[in-house]
């Protein structure tokens, strides 16, 4: 429970989403429009038309988890990702949820195995 972190893969649904959708409706969007498997363990991110509501759909061992945030003021700024991609990173998700917009950033090289 509450196991979202940098090891997850995050996918952004680019169209406005009807926030009345729950587990089954969002899973249908993942399968039919993103061409992904909702039970893969990836996290799928949805925004409404006004970008004031955000839902995250995530499959964990034993079932789906749905995270939902509604802003009282302001709106979410979607992550900047290439047109032909849906995936983005944990830091981009955190910045979006916290309402932080980065005007310019430089990713420094890091050693990886």
pLDDT in tens, 43-79: 999 999 999 999 999 999 889 999 999 999 999 999 9
Give percent of the chain with pLDDT exceeding 70.
97
Residue 106: CB atoms within 10 A of its CB come to 4
Q: Would you say residue 82 has pLDDT above 70?
A: yes
Q: Would you say residue 1 has pLDDT above 70?
A: no
Write down the pLDDT at residue 55. Answer: 98
pTM of the model: 0.88
CB-CB contact of 46 with 29 (8 Å): yes
- Nearest Cα residue to 29 out of 6, 48, 46, 53: 46
Give me 69's structure tokens.
């945030």
User: What burial class does residue 77 get, using C-beta atoms within 10 Å of its C-beta: 0-12 exposed, 13-18 middle, 19+ buried?
Assistant: middle
Write down the pLDDT at residue 106. Answer: 81
């Amino acid at each position: 429970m509450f196991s979202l972190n940098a090891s997850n893969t995050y996918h952004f649904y680019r169209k406005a989403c009807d926030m009345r959708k729950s587990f089954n409706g969002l899973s249908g969007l993942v399968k039919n429009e993103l061409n992904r498997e909702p039970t893969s363990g990836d996290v799928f991110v949805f925004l409404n038309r006004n970008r004031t509501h955000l839902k995250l759909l995530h499959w964990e061992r034993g079932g789906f988890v749905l995270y939902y945030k509604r802003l009282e003021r302001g709106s979410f700024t979607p992550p900047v990702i290439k047109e032909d991609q849906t995936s983005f990173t944990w830091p981009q998700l955190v910045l979006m949820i916290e309402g932080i917009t980065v005007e310019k950033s430089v990713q420094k090289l890091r050693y990886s195995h």
